[in-house]
């Protein structure tokens, strides 16, 4: 079996490496990035999305947003031009649920099964193969590729039909963004009051306020380390998809809209490439303090 892997960015590259390490034969391609490191590990290089589809039994896409997935799969020289009936395509990108359903419907006409399977955990968990993977699609198809997904994630859960994987990811991204914003407000307040933020972290991380998000992001904030595991500009993309989906469904999400404006302000200030833990910079600027050790 050959797995085609399209999209070798911050997340896709280590995910592909984990599949190679697990013994799978990969064919890889990225329109904008070199992949010599992967071919050096034994992967076959591709010349286009169409080329990858012709070589593969299972295809994984890991791309930035809905337009990129639609171009790679449905566009000129796209996967759909050469994909074989019976192939399974797993899109692990974080995109709009409606886009997942559109791509899935187009592939179904070609006799191709489709799953949307976005991930959470950022670059560190992509590297160590412990991503949370939330999957939408047919259960029988899911069971066929679950062993592959388990080489990239420690949690692989089928949540419903096609599109529900990305609905779940949007819920995840809302919670993460609001959690970081709450942490930022709280630690700026503590710092402004003259209380050591490291001591505050040590005191509350084991209580009800503790969270995976706080444990991951507060140490970065205290070190002033905003090297991206997940960039602000990508979180903006996810929250825009959340807002669009919510508006279409008639489900108000006012807190998400508020954090979106914070992220947009940070992007305007030149922090779009920073990790989303840099949400704290917005509150630091307002209060005139820095939350550091």
Q: What is the CATH number of the domain that holds 68?
A: 3.40.50.720
CA distances from 158 to 6, 47, 161 (A): 22, 32, 9
Residue 179 has a pLDDT of: 98
What is the pLDDT at residue 132? 97
Helix H segments across the chain? Answer: 12-21, 36-40, 49-55, 66-74, 97-108, 122-128, 139-149, 164-192, 197-204, 212-223, 232-249, 254-268, 279-287
The predicted structure's pLDDT at residue 271: 98
- Could you tell me if residue 293 is inside a domain? no
Q: What is the pLDDT of residues 204-217, one digit of tens each?
A: 999 999 999 999 99
Both 173 and 229 in a single domain?
Answer: yes
The answer on 175 and 253 residing in a single domain is yes
Instruction: Specify whether 254 is located in the same domain as 202.
Output: yes
- Within this chain, do residues 129 and 197 fall inside the same structural domain, yes or no? no
Q: Which of 160, 187, 215 is the last residue of a domain?
A: 160
Q: What is the pLDDT of residue 98?
A: 97
Q: What is the pLDDT of residues 161-175, one digit of tens each?
A: 999 999 999 999 999
Q: What is the pLDDT of residues 239-287, one digit of tens each?
A: 999 999 999 999 999 999 999 999 999 999 999 999 999 999 999 999 9
Per-residue model confidence (pLDDT) at position 289: 98
Count of domains forming the chain: 2
Tell me the three state secondary structure of residue 246. helix
Are residues 150 and 203 located together in one domain of the fold? no
So what's the pLDDT on residue 19? Answer: 98
Given a contact cutoff of 8 angstroms between Cβ atoms, the answer to whether 275 and 231 are in contact is yes
Q: Rounded to the nearest 10 degrees, how much is the dihedral formed by the CA atoms of 234, 261, 170, 242?
A: -110
User: At 174, which CATH number?
Assistant: 1.10.1040.10
DSSP symbols for 187-218: HHHHHHTT--HHHHHHHHTTSTT--HHHHHHH
| Pair 73, 174 in one domain | no
Tell which of 144, 160, 176 closes a domain: 160
pTM: 0.94
pLDDT tens digits, one per residue of 103-132: 999 999 999 999 999 999 888 899 999 999
Residue 233 domain flag? yes
Q: 195 lies in which domain range?
A: 167-287
The whole-number average pLDDT for the span 24-51 is: 97
In this prediction, residue 35 has a pLDDT band, given cuts at 50, 70 and 90, of very high
How buried is 41 (Cβ within 10 angstroms: 0-12 exposed, 13-18 middle, 19+ buried)? Answer: middle
Same domain, 279 and 197: yes
Active site residues: 169
Q: Do 123 and 230 lie in a common domain? A: no
Q: Are residues 197 and 136 in the same domain?
A: no
Q: How far, in Å, are 132, 172, 197, 199, 236 from residue 209 at the CA level?
A: 22, 18, 15, 14, 25
| pLDDT at residue 31 greater than cutoff 90 | yes
Q: Is 114 found in the same domain as 241?
A: no
Instruction: Report the distance separating Cα 53 and Cα 228, nearest Å.
Output: 31
In a domain, 292, yes or no: no
Q: Give pLDDT, residue 122.
A: 87
């Amino acid at each position: 079996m050959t797995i085609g892997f399209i999209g070798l960015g911050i997340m896709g590259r280590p995910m592909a490496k984990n599949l190679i390490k697990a013994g799978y034969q990969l064919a890889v391609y990225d329109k904008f990035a070199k992949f010599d490191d992967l071919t050096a590990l034994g992967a076959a290089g591709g010349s286009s999305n169409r080329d990858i589809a012709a070589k593969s039994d299972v295809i994984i896409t890991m791309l930035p947003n809905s337009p990129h997935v639609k171009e790679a799969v449905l566009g000129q020289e796209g996967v759909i031009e050469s994909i074989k009936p019976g192939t399974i395509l797993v899109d692990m990108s974080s995109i709009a649920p409606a886009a997942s359903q559109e791509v899935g419907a187009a592939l179904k006409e070609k006799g191709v099964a489709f799953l949307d399977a976005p991930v959470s955990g950022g670059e560190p968990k992509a590297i160590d193969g412990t991503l949370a993977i939330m999957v939408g699609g047919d259960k029988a198809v899911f069971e066929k590729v679950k062993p592959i997904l388990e080489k990239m994630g420690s949690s692989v859960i089928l949540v419903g039909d096609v599109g529900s994987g990305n609905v779940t990811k949007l819920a995840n991204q809302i919670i993460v963004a609001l959690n970081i914003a709450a942490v930022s407000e709280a630690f700026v307040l503590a710092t402004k009051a003259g209380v050591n933020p490291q001591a505050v972290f040590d005191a509350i991380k084991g209580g009800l306020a503790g969270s995976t998000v706080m444990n991951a992001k507060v140490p970065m904030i205290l070190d002033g380390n905003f090297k991206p595991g997940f960039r602000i500009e990508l979180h903006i993309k996810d929250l825009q998809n959340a807002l669009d989906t919510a508006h279409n469904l008639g489900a108000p999400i006012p807190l998400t809209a508020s954090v979106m404006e914070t992220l947009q302000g940070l992007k305007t200030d030149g922090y779009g490439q920073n990790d989303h833990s840099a949400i704290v910079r917005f509150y630091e600027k307002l209060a005139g303090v820095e939350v550091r050790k």
